[in-house]
Structures are given as C-alpha cells and as structure tokens.
Amino acid sequence: RMESHQVAQQIQARQYPCFCVLLPASLDEVRAIGKIEGEVQVDAAISLLAACFEEMESHRAEIVARSAQHVEDRHLREQQDREYQEALEMDRKRQEQLREQEREAQEAQRLQEEQERLAREEVEREEAAKRAVDDERRVQAHALGT
C-alpha cells in the first residue's frame, strides 16, 4: 500500500490540490494518465476524466488484443506440439513396421535356406542310396563273374 506522500512524489505533483487519474502499473507503481494541479474546475475535471476514460479504453483494448494474441499463440504452439507428437508416433510406427518387415524377410530367408538345405540333404541321401545300390550291384556282378 502506497502512502500519499509516495504517490505525490511518483506522479511529480508540484502544486496542490492535485487532481490525478492513476492507472496501476504494478504492485508498487502507479502511472498518472491525467492530472490537473492547482484550482480544479468542474469542466476541466470532467474533460480530464473523459480523456482518461478514452485512454483507458484504448489501453484496455490493447490488453485484450495482447491477451487474445497470447491465447492464439498458445493454441498454435499446442497444435504444433500435437502435430509434432503425431509425426513422432507415425515415425515410430513406420520404424516398427520396417523392423517387422525386416524380421519377416529374415525369417523367410531362413526358411528358404532351410528348405534348400533339406532338399540338398534329400538329394545327397538319394545319391548315396543310388551309389550304395550301384556298389552292391557291382559287388554282386563281380562275385558272379569270378
């Protein structure tokens, strides 16, 4: 709470009575937006109040516009943050999908290699069996020939 002497110093009152319209600038500071010092006439006071009212309306309009701009900026930031998070989520899903496709491709490759190995082993077994039959026939033919 400011004392009258402090206010008088802050508004730089030079003469009394001092009719002043004050606008709080902060908790510890006030701003004089209109002042009449010395003998105060009713018409001058009304005219001062009207002028101050217009200035305060202008000031209020600026504050409202600034506040609206802050709200709009905040909404824009929130929207951008949401879009960024959605993009990150899409990237994460895309990476997961790529990893899954890679795992599936590796599994398919492994199965293909396993099938090829089994096919080679089957061919080798058949060839070994055929050789064994051929060897047996040779042994029998040789036994018959001697």
60-72 residue pLDDT tens: 899 999 999 999 9
Residue 20: strand, helix, or coil:
strand
Give the tens place of pLDDT for each residue, 69-89: 999 999 999 999 999 999 999
Q: Count the helices and strands in the chain (H runs, E runs).
A: 2, 2
Q: What is the pLDDT of residue 129?
A: 93
The string of DSSP codes covering 62-99 is: HHHHHHHHHHHHHHHHHHHHHHHHHHHHHHHHHHHHHH
Global confidence as pTM: 0.47
Give the tens place of pLDDT for each residue, 14-57: 888 888 888 777 777 778 888 888 888 889 999 999 999 988 89
- For 106, half-sphere exposure in the C-beta direction (CA atoms, 13 angstrom radius) is 6
Question: Cis omega before residue 24 (within 30°)?
Answer: no
Cα–Cα distances (Å) from 80 to 61, 77, 86, 108, 135, in that order, read 28, 5, 10, 41, 80
Q: What is the pLDDT of residue 59?
A: 82
* CA-based radius of gyration for the chain: 48
> Tokens representing 53?
């009212």
* 100 phi-psi bin (left φ>0, alpha ψ -120 to 50, beta other): alpha
